[in-house]
Amino acid sequence: MIAVESHPLLDAGALLTTFASPLGELGSLPWLSAMLSLDAPAPLKSDDRVRAAVRDLLRHGGFKPTGRSKPASEYLIRAAGEGALGSINPAVDANNVVSLHSGLPISVVDLDLAAAPLRIGIAPKGATFVFNASGQSIDLEGLLCLFDAQGPCANAVKDAQRTKTHAGTTRTVSIVWGTRALGDRTRVTVDWYREILERAGARTQACALTIEP
Mean pLDDT for all residues in the chain: 97
pLDDT tens digits for 33-56? 999 999 999 999 999 999 999 999
Given a cut of 80, is residue 21 above it in pLDDT? yes
Q: Which among 150, 177, 175, 200 has a CA at the least distance from the CA of 11?
A: 177
Q: Which CATH superfamily is domain 2-211 in?
A: Phenylalanyl-trna Synthetase, Chain B, domain 3 (3.50.40.10)
Q: What is the pLDDT of residue 78?
A: 96
To the question of pTM greater than 0.95 for the whole model, the response is yes
The pLDDT-based confidence of 63 (bands split at 50, 70, 90) is very high
- Residue 77: CB atoms within 10 A of its CB come to 19
Q: What is the pLDDT of residue 55?
A: 98
pLDDT tens digits for 147-174? 999 999 999 999 999 999 999 999 999 9
Q: Stretch 49-67: mean pLDDT, rounded? A: 97
The pLDDT-based confidence of 106 (bands split at 50, 70, 90) is very high
Q: What is the pLDDT of residue 213?
A: 75
Cα 42 from Cα 72, distance rounded (Å): 19
Given a cut of 90, is residue 212 above it in pLDDT? no
Question: Crossing angle, helix 90-102 and helix 185-199, to 10 degrees?
Answer: 150
Q: Stretch 87-107: mean pLDDT, rounded? A: 97
Given a cut of 80, is residue 58 above it in pLDDT? yes
Q: Which among 145, 159, 165, 149 has a CA at the least distance from the CA of 60?
A: 145
Cis before 152? omega within 30: no
Give me the percent of the chain exceeding a pLDDT of 70: 100
Using CA atoms, how far residue 150 sits from 112, 173, 200, in Å, is 13, 16, 31
